[in-house]
Structure 1
């Protein structure tokens, strides 16, 4: 029976890069984890051992660092697009047919210190503290004709201490969960959103990636905070819908929401009444709620992770 080489790709994963833009006495910082993956005419590399069409993964790593110096890093999306276009359009003999760039971005805040003026703070311009909130993500694919851009975030932990219920659900012989009419709702948001932007021609203008990220994040948080929730599924839909209602550049939102359970502690053995005040925070096991909201007529492109 004959065997066929199927889908394959290669590249250099997790290139850690910190780029400092020095502007007089005020510095700007970008901290990225960049992964490069290439697809193309690589059959001989696998089947015969010939490396004639193989661009070393070390070369892709060097390109990441050289481009950071040459072009700077204004946004994760813009930097990923530069890299993807380069590998497809400038690799010798056109052996690379498509390139996928995945980036995680870690945020840093400026360190503020007391100033000479009472009640005011200032920063040195060059001192930072790692931001403990979410990680920004992006994935860009380019095939020589169009871009597919999926931005996102992960590890964004949020909580509502009320305005959440869960009752009226299916019950079978194994159901022991009591119905809840006032509960904590907490989750660790992983969100990804796809853009209508394809970059096919000069008129297809890219959005302001950094502004778009801030606004999508804001709408996700506002939807979580303002939705009176009867299930985490309902909250997921509200979050995705709000983004699509307010951000015309986004066509699809995919959310992964683990339910970070908080259980009331039984204080009766100590003669105390627990009036929704003291909880046990369980880190596992947990319910995992996933779903996609997209515009009518748009074919979803974000893969299920």
Structure 2
């Protein structure tokens, strides 16, 4: 009777306990998958699942990565999945019989199954730089495209559009950060790992006064520099003539002195000199 009571008590506790939170920061770096538990979660095991695009299974049907089934580790070598083409990966946490929601993995680097993404921001707009020169495009042509999720930082990225290459969104608020993640789409089906979320700050627009000052400076430079160079190269003689001081040299400046002209006289009255009457060679004085 006591055993039955304890068994029912354990079942009641398990039923009332909440499941663990889903793993966070599930990152795939090449074939190395890492994650971390939610804050405050302890005594967890983790299981890694994969889903292959080329395998004819339902999109909700996931298979276990054998090397990472109920493991306490926070990493997994998923190189095994390369045999299955482009795959998606996710991780679930377990505590006893309770299982968390899956944490979806994203790829740190672009590769044949993940778009290479770069963001650039200007006042009021954000550009997601992509390329259609990838292996999936070569295989599926126009049936392979990108799905771009975007939105403000801190808000779940729900809005999305499809684009074959780079895409720009306008009308954004200056001074706020906007984020994007991108995944490949083939026949309207998500393929491979999405890129990890990237964010950029939308810069403030320059003030009108600053724009006017910058424009004036540019105009001055464009006009002053060529004019100055032209004057220095082709009108040096004229400039020297303009800079010559207003002084006329007397016509008789170089004429020889005539009797009666004032002469410069040097006086040695204040100097004390010794008259040397003769010099002897150094050999005779030795």
TM-score class, shorter: under 0.3
Query: TM-score w.r.t. structure 1 length?
Result: 0.23
Larger Rg: 1 or 2?
Answer: 2
Greater relative contact order structure (CA < 8 Å, 6+ sep) = 2
Query: TM-score w.r.t. structure 2 length?
Result: 0.24
